[in-house]
Structure 1
Amino acid sequence: MNTANPETEGKLARSLGLWAVVLFGLAYMTPMIVYGTFGILAEASQGMVPMTYILALCAVLLTAVSYGKMAYIFPVAGSAYTYARNSIGSGVGFVVGWAVLLDYFFLPMVIWLIGAAYLNEAFPGIPTQVWLLAFIAITTAINIIGIAFASKVNFVLMIMQSLMVAVFIALCIHYIVGAQGAGGLLSVEPFFNSEVPFSFAFAGAAIAAYSFLGFDAVTTLTEETINPKKNMPRAIMLIALIGGFVFVVAAYFAQLVHPGGEFDNVDAAAFTIAAKIGGDLFSGIFLIGLVIAQFASGLAAQTSVGRLLFAMGRDRVLPKAVFGYIHPHFNTPVYNLVLAGLVGLVALYLDVVTSASFINFGAFLAFTFVNLSMVSLFLKKHEALAESSFLTTLVIPLAGAAFNLYLLFSLDLKAILLGCVWLGIGIAYLAFMTKGFSVPPPEVSYVEPDLDEAK
């Protein structure tokens, strides 16, 4: 068992290999999101979408180094919450976990809402609410049945959307060569335009980071991963690199097809490009691909929020009877998954812009504190870092923290204000739970037997 009281607490089952974890991370990121947000990024960056992804990838890779090391040192569920709690302190860990909930809790809702909006556009006779309820019900059922089953479903969905991205890129190349010749495939303008201030690229990067959410989320699957000390750090880096490569390449060719950042409808920019390169038939197929991508992403996102709530419930930071419960047959945190589905119902009263406006606030804050957690361990001379280099334990984490803070303050003012309100609520709850900060938050010592040999 993983906790201090093995007689009464549940345990997650190990069934995920390296590539199963990588696929969950990529599904969470949703490779096709590069098209779903292309118009927004093109407008924000004034036609430098590939560069926005490169800048966002830099922040992600710097942070991925710290995530990988933290997953090795603390191979348990909880992600940024667990790392900050064990490295800096219980109070900081709680605040970071609360900030991460902002991301994890609302991201599935946004994913389901976007998918429902796509389907409503294709079938206007069926209300968006019906599609939303279907998304929530199906993904919740699959996740409750178990992580192994969800992994198999996820594999099929990832293959389908990967093929769609490949076809889209191929059609872009065919269109460009037909219109401009092979020379049209090479251009620096998607990366740098002397007529556009580079600050626009950073503004776009603050939004583009949304597409990378998922490389970190797989750390919540640590206790269900085979040999996590070896596989989790590898998975984190592979997810960031593969996802970043796909985003940059896909955005590059789409930007060549449609230079600049002006569209008649920014939200439907990808459909405009799809119709341009493949006609009405392909734009219809492309719509199906986007819906599949949203379903896969929602499946992975709900999985992660369920595991994060389980870690906090097991620590008694949240009511343990509910949040720390594992179903004896399915070996899944059933109550947490159902709660995530219920939170998704809030989307019935919101639009995509409102619900998504402050997700990145929690993400950037979590990324910053994962890096600072590594710095804290370095300053404390933690024994696990004895053979690690100065570069990966101090220089890179400090650079990652600074980069993520810069992107955080590049967010829209409304997103920052909403994020601060959410943090205020969390700090108030922490004050109540600790009797005015007079006692430390609940804390459990993790013991993972035979971790390296777990099969």
Structure 2
Amino acid sequence: MKDIFRTKSIKTLIKETEGEKSLKKSLGAFELTMLGIGAIVGSGIFVLTGVAAAKFSGPALVISFIVAGLACAFAALCYAEFAAMIPVAGSAYTYGYAALGEVWAWIIGWDLILEYAVAIGAVAIGWSGYIVNLLKNMGINLPASLVASPYEGGIVNLPAMLIIGVISILLIIGVKESAKFNNLIVAIKLVIIFLFIFLAVGHVKPANWQPFMPYGFNGVLQGAAYVFFAYIGFDAVSTAAEEVKNPQKDLPKGIIASLLICTVLYIVVSAILTGVVPYLNYMNTAAPVAFALEQIGINWGSALVSVGAVFGLTSVLLVMMFGQTRIFFAMSRDGLLPEVIGGINKKTKTPVNSTIIVGVATAIIAGFLPIGIVSELTNIGTLAAFIIVSLGIVVLRKKRPDIKRSFKCPLVPITPIISALACFGLILQLETATKIRFVVWFALGIVVYLAYGRRHSTMNNEIRDEKAGEGKSCEATITN
């Protein structure tokens, strides 16, 4: 059983990025920052803020965002050190392989598969809701049976499936083209957010911030665990490591800059939302930003925000699907998943097979399941990955202090330990049912690893071949 804890050397990991199964290097710090913003700014501002304020935090939602942002900030510093040191596709999965061993890498990878798949499904369903509402306002009514899952009385959520198909095609065309498209839609949604701030800030009534913490500090912590979904995506920046031209410098910049920008935006928007409209009024709205502008009589602004939400959720889908495909690609290249999944297009240098698989699987999730089922597991999966990455920094600093680190996480082991404890604390705030489902997924992953991954692992196969070669050599020596 010792072989399942073998780590893969950083030299070997980097060497793999130079062969035929490597990805095209075409991203810089700006593109990485925009990828991060593209993934982070979306459902958090346009969907989650209202429900979080009404159910958990009240006006203290700003503190919930700060708590969740701080947990992410400590984790981001750990990610930045790993990403600069190991500029290889796979994000936390690859870092776990280098620091903790194959079985831990598998656990993280299996965890990330769950995280991204359910997140993509949830965001696609949210995107569908916005686009259906926009078309309705334009006098175009889509058949109810084609915009809802069977669980909601329909046949299929067709718009959700179609947007996933479009994003899949874009990712197959090429990462540079995908990044350009992402830059454009991120710019549009940032303009929309700044427009909301400009229009609404003059209508803030400080009386709406009273009581500031209606559900107590425990409510603030529960709100932080809930809005943590809003931050999911900054880690997707690190999945692009293998496609960055200067990863040692640009990856830390992209990860940290995108997280800081988005945290500030979340704090400002949540403060304005709860100041413009009493927090309880957001209880039954899935579009709080547009709702707030409606309440102060700026209907044209509300319609424009809905358009911005469509762009915002589109960029989230793009980056989430990008991250999912790169994790599949990395796990396939290591033999833990079937080799066919990691197929690379010779012309575009993109992982076509993994993109098709992710597209089909998430389209089925988005088309036939309701948002409640597909969104519950995202937060716990991400938090678990953050914990393992944070502890991996401590382990690798002790095991391999000689490795050159172009970016160093400050105050190790204090920073990683704070990151791990903060993430674990947020996990404790999640519902028991969510934790049980996660344990079931974890157990299923162990079964898959023992049945397939361990036997087909390229690293373990190489080790077995070396042992077999040594045995033949000894046998030949004895014969002679």
- TM normalised by structure 2 equals 0.84
Query: What is the deviation of 1:280?
Result: 2.4
Partner of 1:162: 190
Provide closer, same or farther for how the CA distance between residues 165 and 14 of structure 1 changes in structure 2, counting only shifts above 3 A.
same
Q: Is the 8 A contact 1:44 1:261 kept in 2?
A: no
Moved over 4 A (4+): 1-8, 187-190, 385-391
Indicate the larger mover: 123-132 or 36-45: 123-132
Structure 2: how far apart are the matches of 1:388 and 1:336?
A: 31
Q: Is the 8 A contact 2:14 2:86 kept in 1?
A: no
Partner of 1:329: 347
Deviations 1:74-106 (A, max 9, x none): 111111111111101111111111111111222
Structure 2: how far apart are the matches of 1:388 and 1:337?
A: 31
Q: Is the 8 A contact 1:169 1:250 kept in 2?
A: yes
Structure 2: how far apart are the matches of 1:120 and 1:131?
A: 8
Structure 2: how far apart are the matches of 1:335 and 1:387?
A: 33
SS in 2 for 1:328: coil
Counting only pairs closer than 5 Å after superposition, residues 291-440 of structure 1 correspond to structure 2 as: 291-320=310-339, 322-344=340-362, 345-384=364-403, 391-433=410-452
Q: Is the 8 A contact 1:368 1:400 kept in 2?
A: yes
What code does the residue aligned with 1:229 have? Answer: Q
SS in 2 for 1:384: coil
- Match status 1:100 vs 2:112: yes
Aligned residue among 58, 70, 74 for 2:82: 70
What code does the residue aligned with 1:11 have? Answer: S
**Residue correspondences, number:** 432
Structure 1 or 2, whichever has the larger Rg, is: 2
Counting only pairs closer than 5 Å after superposition, residues 228-307 of structure 1 correspond to structure 2 as: 228-263=247-282, 265-307=284-326
Deviations 1:55-76 (A, max 9, x none): 0011001111110111122111
Partner of 1:450: none
- TM normalised by structure 1 equals 0.89
Structure 2: how far apart are the matches of 1:94 and 1:198?
A: 36
Q: Is the 8 A contact 2:221 2:426 kept in 1?
A: yes
SS in 1 for 2:403: helix
Provide closer, same or farther for how the CA distance between residues 328 and 413 of structure 1 changes in structure 2, counting only shifts above 3 A.
same
Query: What is the deviation of 1:8?
Result: 7.2
Aligned residue among 37, 41, 46 for 1:35: 46
Partner of 2:152: none
Counting only pairs closer than 5 Å after superposition, residues 17-36 of structure 1 correspond to structure 2 as: 17-31=28-42, 33-36=44-47
Partner of 2:150: none
Partner of 1:143: 171
Aligned residue among 1, 18, 21 for 1:10: 21
Indicate the larger mover: 101-110 or 89-98: 101-110
What code does the residue aligned with 1:140 have? Answer: S
Q: Is the 8 A contact 1:206 1:408 kept in 2?
A: yes
Partner of 2:61: 49
Q: Which runs of 5+ in 2 are unaligned?
A: 1-11, 148-156, 462-480
Indicate the larger mover: 87-96 or 410-419: 410-419
Indicate the larger mover: 266-275 or 362-371: 266-275
Partner of 2:459: 443
Structure 1: how far apart are the matches of 2:56 and 2:309?
A: 22
Partner of 1:91: 103
Q: Is the 8 A contact 1:9 1:325 kept in 2?
A: no
Q: Which runs of 5+ in 1 are unaligned?
A: 446-455
Indicate the larger mover: 410-419 or 367-376: 410-419
Structure 1: how far apart are the matches of 2:406 and 2:20?
A: 35
Q: Give RMSD over aligned pairs.
A: 2.5
